[in-house]
Amino acid sequence: MKVKRNQKILLFSPEKNFEIFVDYEENGEVHTHVGKVVLKKNLKYGDILKSSKNKIFYVLKPSLSDLMIKIKRKTTIIYPKDAGLIILELGIRSGSKVCEVGTGSGAFLTLLSSIVGSKGKVYTFERRRDFLELAKGNIKDYGLGSNIEFNLRDVEKEGFPKIKVDAVFVDIPEPWKIVPFVPRILKPGHVLGSLSPNIEQIQKTKKEMEKNGFIRIRIYETILREIMVRDIGTRPKEFGIVHTGYLIFGNLANYLQ
């Protein structure tokens, strides 16, 4: 598959598993600690390039996980290890209408936009203009955005506009303050989800969800370990991202007319 101009590519070198995330420009130069790499004309995913120090680089298509992790950020992000479970628990699919509170840098928004597709819609809310503008730039840089409605709005103080959605996800420091507004926009029987780094936050959110008609409340923490396979022995890597946050989900049993 031919790479288009300004499309994201992942240059991967087996030399200590080094990788670099760049925009494709015909005859563009990428400078690394293992030499300069020239991006040839008519580049295709799967091509093999050599650096000026004769090191091999493979041209790979970035995954959604790569796009999330490598996004320009001013905030913490939803990590891929949590994102997959969130999508499954919220029941998000092609054509879904989803509300996100806490746009941040737009990492999770990248995944949401990709999954709901052209027939779906993502309403994202952020109270800080600088975060919202960063997210807009990131989304545009990834060639996404036609199915996203960006809102500069403090939902905690103003509530939501008149929308109706299939799922709601909240990623702000005090998610329990948003919970009372959710039944006005979430379809009955559907799911509200939230992520918090501390269990005390989850406790407050759970109490507020119970007060506002949410049932089947479940709480998770996802743990992911990368495994090294070597001739001298196979074992987990010494370092990794362990705790990122606690996830809470609940289904709406009743709602306000």
**135/257 Cα distance (integer angstroms):** 33
- Which 3 state secondary structure label does DSSP give 170? strand
Q: What is the mean pLDDT of each run of 10 residues along the chain (257 residues)?
A: 91 90 94 93 95 95 95 93 97 98 97 97 98 97 96 97 98 97 97 98 98 97 91 88 93 73
Residues 78 and 188 in one domain: yes
pLDDT confidence of residue 238: 84
How many independent structural domains does the chain possess?
Answer: 2
Position 141, amino acid: D
pLDDT confidence of residue 257: 43
pLDDT confidence of residue 47: 96
Residues 209 and 173 in one domain: yes
pLDDT confidence of residue 116: 98
Residues 92 and 212 in one domain: yes
Residues 145 and 189 in one domain: yes
CATH at residue 133: 3.40.50.150
Residues 246 and 127 in one domain: yes
**Does 257 reside within a domain?**
no
What domain range is 100 assigned to?
65-252
**37/54 Cα distance (integer angstroms):** 10
**Does 202 reside within a domain?**
yes
